[in-house]
Amino acid sequence: MKRVVIVGGGIAGLATAYYLQTRAQGKVNYTLLESAPVLGGKIVSAREKGFVVEGGPDSFITQKTHALELCRELGLGNDLMGTNDAARQVFVWSRGKLHPMPDGVMLIVPTKIMPFLKSPLISWRGKMRMGLDAFIPAKRDDGDESLAHFVRRRLGDEALDKIAEPMIAGIYVADAEDLSLQSTFPRFLDMENKYGGLLRGVLAQKRAASQTRRANGKGNGQAPVSMFMTLRHGVQQLTEAMIAQCDANALRVNQRVVRVQRASDAYAICLDDGAVLHADAVVFAAPSYVTAELVRDLDSALAAQLAQIRYVSTATVSLGYKRAEVAHPLNGFGFVVPRSEKRKILACSWSSTKFSHRAPEEHVLIRAFIGGAHNEALAEQDEALVIQAAREELRAMMGIDAKPVITQVYRWRKANPQYEVGHQARVASIEQRAAQHNGLYLVGSAYHGVGIPDCIADGARVTQTLLAP
Ligand SMILES: Cc1cc2nc3c(=O)[nH]c(=O)nc-3n(C[C@H](O)[C@H](O)[C@H](O)COP(=O)(O)OP(=O)(O)OC[C@H]3O[C@@H](n4cnc5c(N)ncnc54)[C@H](O)[C@@H]3O)c2cc1C
């Protein structure tokens, strides 16, 4: 029977274990080794005093269907919850106050004219510059470029500063000047290539969508799926359900892998307590800089390539308050902060508005994001200082002075891979090199997408390869 060792028990490693458990019909003997005392990696949901606090991800995108399908397969369908879209509004901190992001802005492009024209967030000069997108010819070469370069080229500096950079920083905690457009938002590149610009692309897509709606009459009768979904008791419900389906003896915690070597026709997986496991295949599901160290003896060139993927640190601070003690209406999903504002927080989610069941009756839950590409040191400070920074900012930006009834801080050291310009080519070259080692696989957020669905897709893809005749 084929022996497979999975190194790392985050969502990517767990997905691999789960698919091997449920798809291999006992043909594979798998063992997952996780260095931490618990499984789940960045997925942590703390349930305390009636609050559901997310330490890492609070939801997953549904356009990429792997996470949604897996939740349904695991019988979690009744606990799936979309965002509370009646309150869908994001604010942008600018010049000392929160401004609503104009209705219809799709990450970087306005899709509705009037709300955009009326919004005070962007100056008239900035709006006119954005309009020039309709006349600027498409770039000729198909090389990668940074998101900042792309937005500046098509929509101008102000659109980058007030809209694109803070929205994107909230998702990728990255510097837009370094972030690869090809690896993060290829659909904007497609719009440029296909329609000659973003505004033309948006108009064409709106026309196509309304034609489809007309052709389908009143729709297909199914309730629309929210763009982002979560689970009633937190995202950790997903990893808990996966763990429950796996063979308990196959998932081992407190097992730090320190080295992987070749041993005749197999791999020797060495643990920090001196134990050695042998396997025909190894699935590396740890951060790429960890994998780099683990494969150094096996292939130093592969190690060097893996080590090139940079990671940054972030922290999340969740604060629960009595509703009566927060005067702010919390009338939206939260706000993002342009880098030019030089604040200590990157973004803030009004979690109990964004999702139901996040705070008990008469209470609210707020989550601040600290750190990222420009402010790593802030996220790496002592917990008390991280909390203090978040509370000071909420006082200054939202007028919240009350003492929280719960406070949870999660510091994620070197947790967010940065998809820098050239990322796709870098990953292709890493995978080419890895393919020279029979039975060596790489999964997780470092490679083909940082989102939960991407990591699950990785696990599914590797399982298919492992089970191929
Ligand atoms: C604050 C935050 C918010 C996020 N929000 C969202 C969101 O809303 N939606 C979304 O889709 N994504 C979000 N993400 C991204 C997403 O959570 C991650 O990309 C994903 O969870 C990473 O999964 P992974 O399995 O690749 O890695 P990890 O979760 O990092 O798992 C890797 C595992 O490997 C283990 N490990 C490391 N070294 C060793 C070793 N030597 N031996 C054995 N085990 C080892 C680690 O302990 C860890 O458990 C967020 C991330 C963060 C940090």
Q: Which residues of 95-112 are buried (b: 16+ CB within 10 A; e: fewer)?
A: eeebbbbbeebeebbbbe
Q: What is the pLDDT of residues 446-463, one digit of tens each?
A: 999 999 999 999 999 999
* Confidence at residue 222, expressed as pLDDT on a 0 to 100 scale: 59
Q: What is the pLDDT of residues 325-381, one digit of tens each?
A: 999 999 999 999 999 999 999 999 999 999 999 999 999 999 999 998 888 999 999
> Which atom of ligand 1 is found nearest the CA of 40?
49
How far, in Å, CA of 310 to CA of 388, rounded? 28
pTM of the model: 0.94
Q: Which residue's CA is minimally distant from atom 6 of ligand 1?
A: 57
Q: What is the mean pLDDT of the chain?
A: 94
* Confidence at residue 142, expressed as pLDDT on a 0 to 100 scale: 78
Does 290 contact ligand 1 (Cβ within 6 A)? yes
Angle between helical axes of 186-195 and 147-155 (0-180°, round to 10): 40
Does 417 contact ligand 1 (Cβ within 6 A)? no
How far, in Å, CA of 19 to CA of 459, rounded? 7
Does 7 contact ligand 1 (Cβ within 6 A)? yes
Of residues 264 and 291, more confidence is placed in 291
Query: What average pLDDT score do residues 292-299 get?
Result: 97
Does 257 contact ligand 1 (Cβ within 6 A)? yes
Residues 6+ apart with CB under 8 A from 325: 402
Q: Which residue's CA is minimally distant from atom 50 of ligand 1?
A: 57
How many A from CA of 338 to the centre of ligand 1?
Answer: 26
Residues 6+ apart with CB under 8 A from 19: 459, 460, 463
Q: Which residues of 125-154 are buried (b: 16+ CB within 10 A; e: fewer)?
A: ebbebbbebeeeeeeeeeebbbbbbbbbeb
What domains can be seen in the chain, in order of their start residue?
2-41+235-309+420-467 (3.50.50.60), 111-137+144-215 (1.10.3110.10), 311-417 (3.90.660.20)
Q: Which residue's CA is minimally distant from atom 30 of ligand 1?
A: 41
Q: What is the DSSP secondary structure assignment for residue 179, as one 8-state letter?
A: B
345-349 and 2-7 strand pairing = unpaired
Q: What separation in angstroms does the CA of 161 have from each of 24, 310, 313?
A: 49, 23, 22
* Confidence at residue 171, expressed as pLDDT on a 0 to 100 scale: 82
* Confidence at residue 8, expressed as pLDDT on a 0 to 100 scale: 98
**Is residue 213 over pLDDT 80?**
no
**Is residue 112 over pLDDT 90?**
no
How many A from CA of 311 to the centre of ligand 1?
Answer: 12
How far, in Å, CA of 135 to CA of 368, rounded? 39
281-284 and 440-442 strand pairing = parallel
Structure tokens at 190: 């497609």
Residues 6+ apart with CB under 8 A from 458: 12, 15, 16, 443, 444, 447, 448
Query: What average pLDDT score do residues 400-408 get?
Result: 97
Q: Using an 8 Å Cβ cutoff, are 198 and 192 in contact?
A: yes
How many A from CA of 355 to the centre of ligand 1?
Answer: 22
Q: What separation in angstroms does the CA of 304 have from each of 183, 292, 308, 432?
A: 21, 7, 7, 14
Q: What is the pLDDT of residues 46-98, one digit of tens each?
A: 999 999 999 999 999 999 999 999 999 999 999 999 999 899 899 999 999 99
Using DSSP, state whether 217 is helix, strand or coil: coil
* Confidence at residue 394, expressed as pLDDT on a 0 to 100 scale: 97
How many A from CA of 451 to the centre of ligand 1?
Answer: 9
Angle between helical axes of 165-172 and 147-155 (0-180°, round to 10): 160
φ, ψ at 169 (rounded to 5°) = -60, -35
Of residues 32 and 208, more confidence is placed in 32
Using DSSP, state whether 92 is helix, strand or coil: strand
How many A from CA of 11 to the centre of ligand 1?
Answer: 7
* Confidence at residue 218, expressed as pLDDT on a 0 to 100 scale: 53
